[in-house]
A = this chain, B = another copy of it.
Amino acid sequence: MGDEMANLSGDNSKILLDESEMPTQWYNIIPDLPEPPPPPLHPGTHEPIGPDDLAPLFPMGLIMQEVSTDSYIDIPGEVLDIYRLWRPSPLIRARRLEKALDTPAHIYLKYEGVSPAGSHKPNTSVPQAYYNQVEGVKKLTTETGAGQWGSALAFACAQFDMECEVWQVAASFEQKPYRKAMMEVWGATVHPSPSDLTEAGRAILAQDPNSPGSLGIAISEAVEMALQADTTRYALGSVLNHVLLHQTIIGEEALLQFAKVDEMPDVLVGCTGGGSNFGGLSFPFLREKLAGNIDPTIRCVEPAACPSLTQGEYRYDFGDTAGMTPLMKMHTLGHSFIPDPIHAGGLRYHGMSPLVSHIYELGLVEAEAIGQTECFASGLQFARTEGIVPAPEPTHAIAAAIREANAAKEAGEERVILTALCGHGHLDLKAYEGYIAGQISDYDHPADKIAAAMESVPVL
């Protein structure tokens, strides 16, 4: 081992940027697309909605970003100051994993686990809290799947002295008790969802008192509560345009980091739940691809148990289970779809970001679905070679990267692979314990469940 290892010396494992190099604008991909995404529709009238329709839920600062046609939007100074607590995030060259795989591929990971909440989510929770606070909002409500988003919003609210109330999907509330504690450390209040605090929650509990919950149900609860007070608004951790916009700082930094090592990715793979981590990493690269500067393959990776892109339909559907949100044209499994309780709670969402769905329909990105046992095996191999224990969500991205690295070996190609390691798995260790003990399996192909849930999609 000695001589081989010594060869690694002299080459950085991490490509870092100084705080002074941190991008100061978010990138809005919409003006650069060959056609704009279809508009959201009012749930009652089925007419396109305007900014005013969203005002009960979101502050105008975010609504204007949601519908913006500007290519770049300045990041406010206060947001930059908070970003600096952990950004720029490192780009990691996974040399020890490459060695273990004996692959000629170069595997890079943009690591967002360095944030206080341990994922990419604070990139948007901080500006969301900021724009709300500027408009006098005192409290934010939200849902959380794996707990990553709820933690991130709790952290952001602590920075702006705002209240934060979180509905955590019941399956995750059970699996990840430390997430609740983390949210409380930052001052938030946390409820398991479905709860008896809302009409939406009570309706689900009446049907199934042991419901494992879903992101769709938790969204209904948080939205319902936000509508009950003038100084309360709702915050969404993924799916919407402004959320993906905030996340583009990931890809902008990664472009600067690749320039430093004089490489560019041939393949970019990112895990997709609501699409914010994937969009954040990939959109700046897609801009360069659309401009003809680079030509990477860009691919979404979703869980086999919740395959909205690969098995869902591209239709107008609700973002939540109770049908309270606007109708959005997106890849959906049906808003009544309740995914099996896989450990990647952040990917258990029936729909896909309308913007990512649109870009997929345009043929600009690919998609594949991977089962959770292959993902955990990949996560474990990563932890044992590179040290970092990945969250269950990015193990999907790592599994896809390892597939690519093996294909490169097969082909004898020096392929450059980029993926997003969007969070650490410190609060998901029980899932790994279960995997090691052989207690985790892939769920059956969810075709029947999907067919049933698709009947809940409105016919326009």
Contacts and interface: CB of A to CB of B under 8 A. Distances in A.
Interface of A: 1-2, 5-6, 8-9, 12-14, 16, 18-20, 77-78, 80-81, 84-86, 96, 114-118, 122, 133, 155, 158-161, 177-178, 180-182, 184-187, 380, 383-384, 386-389, 424, 426-427, 429-430, 432-433, 436
Contact of A116 (B85, B177, B389, B432): B389
A429 B9 contact: no
Nearest to A2: B78
A89 to B, nearest CB: 11
Contacts of A432: 181, 184-185
B429 A386 contact: no
A166 to B, nearest CB: 15
Contacts of A86: 387
A117 to B, nearest CB: 8
Nearest to A158: B384
Contacts of A429: 178, 181-182, 185, 427
A92 to B, nearest CB: 8
A160 B6 contact: no
Given A1-B161, A9-B80, A116-B388, 20 more contacts: A1-B78, A1-B160, A5-B77, A6-B77, A6-B81, A9-B77, A13-B85, A16-B16, A86-B387, A115-B387, A116-B383, A116-B387, A117-B387, A178-B427, A178-B429, A178-B430, A181-B429, A181-B433, A185-B429, A427-B429
A86 to B, nearest CB: 7
A310 B155 CA distance: 37
Contact of A185 (B2, B133, B380): B380
B116 A185 contact: no
B178 A426 contact: yes
Given A5-B78, A6-B78, A387 B185 contact: no
A184 to B, nearest CB: 6
Most chain B CB neighbours (cut-off 10 Å) among A19, A118, A427: A19
A427 B118 CA distance: 13
